Structure 1
């Protein structure tokens, strides 16, 4: 059952900035090397249950190489999708992990070879926490909201403070537990929230943690 109390709805506020926006994009990298790879997979509808079962049975083979932050299914929004987030301390670490996975025969035979025919598409974004945000682990189990905003390029100097204030207002009134605020370094760029005249599009997804997700 999905909890209805708004305060147990956690949110990923997904903020993406283009490479030229030094106040958000480059600044975050200068302050920390850790980044979060946000991966989204579209699953063929008739294979969705089989995909989740196969993943649950074999996810330990993947987490043996690097930790998993969370794994969710999309309940509302674009359906038949999963969202998972993998933290890395550096690009060098990610490269070593991906190299090891490519050589892991169990991972390839028991998982990759089986789930590839079930996938419709895959998307990966390299994201960093914005300088003023911290990762938080929710105290209660619940559902999550992933919100992405497509922004017109060139406006962070004008919308940055407004965006931060708007998110803090949502969190302070108990609307949500703000898990993290991110911008994308690679992948789909120019995303943010608030300052409506700068927004070109918005996407909301309600996420349900899987049974094997570390973040509930």
Structure 2
């Protein structure tokens, strides 16, 4: 009886340890607190971009009274035309739930922005992301343009490809080819996806830095290692709006 129970206990322990290992392998480490960032993308109807942005500009104070806006951009290159992209910060999921509930009850927000703006939106998408543990949200030295580079990595999570990816990012940062704002790992959305937000003074300085980095053997070596885990990548040039905290 004891031996049988011992074998059962041992089997359960083995399965528990295996499940913990798989969970770590699938997700990898992340920031210790519950703070996360929601990436929202709105695809607007043709010729409706200016109307939408003007309406949000007039009413942005109503929205930021409920939660923190990190940045708000229009997509210049690399994505569908008439697209806006914005990032919101939340303390945890309970915080986001409370904010969404409060917005639903905020008559000013509903009447002045939401209801007039809904007919202008063709489609919208949302992702929940965490900053990777080795990255803090940066600030630009002055106004400029932003590049959002999105990498779809092979299944396995940061436990598989995180170190190689980190070395690639640090190679660009340490050599001064661009200013890093943040590296985000998707929690809800397409898994094994990493978003890297860069700042540049302008599109031409970004192009010059990119060309130089491609000829730098230190960057090339780091990229060659990381690309073994890469499936696809895409980038967008983002122009901050006048009301964006990140300029």
Unaligned runs of 5+ in 2: 1-21, 196-222
The question of 1:214 aligning with 2:245 is answered yes
Q: Which ranges of 4 or more aligned residues in structure 1 deviate by more than 4 Å?
A: none
d(CA) in 1 for partners of 2:182, 2:26: 15
**SS of residue in 2 equivalent to 1:41:** strand
**Deviation at 1:83?**
0.8
RMSD: 1.8
Change (3 A) 1:151 1:45: same
d(CA) in 2 for partners of 1:100, 1:128: 23
The question of 1:41 aligning with 2:42 is answered yes
Change (3 A) 1:26 1:196: closer
1:157-214, CA deviations, whole angstroms, 9 ceiling, x for partnerless residues? Answer: 4422111011011111221111111101111222248522322211100001100001
Unaligned runs of 5+ in 1: 1-19
Change (3 A) 1:183 1:24: farther
Of Structure 1 and Structure 2, the greater helix share is in 2
**SS of residue in 1 equivalent to 2:24:** coil
Question: Normalising by the residue count of structure 2, what TM-score does the alignment of the two structures yield?
Answer: 0.75
**Deviation at 1:155?**
5.8
Change (3 A) 1:64 1:156: closer
The question of 1:205 aligning with 2:236 is answered yes
The question of 1:69 aligning with 2:70 is answered yes
Change (3 A) 1:177 1:23: farther
Change (3 A) 1:24 1:211: farther
**Deviation at 1:51?**
0.7
Moved more, 193-202 or 132-141: 193-202
Matches for 1:96-111 after TM superposition, within 5 Å: 96-111=98-113
d(CA) in 2 for partners of 1:175, 1:182: 19
Alignment correspondent of 1:184: 186
d(CA) in 2 for partners of 1:115, 1:134: 33
d(CA) in 2 for partners of 1:155, 1:109: 42
Question: Normalising by the residue count of structure 1, what TM-score does the alignment of the two structures yield?
Answer: 0.85
d(CA) in 1 for partners of 2:66, 2:145: 27
Matches for 1:1-216 after TM superposition, within 5 Å: 22=24, 25=27, 27-28=29-30, 31-78=32-79, 79-154=81-156, 156-192=158-194, 194=223, 195-216=226-247
Q: How many matched pairs?
A: 196
1:86-121, CA deviations, whole angstroms, 9 ceiling, x for partnerless residues? Answer: 111111111111100000111111111111111111
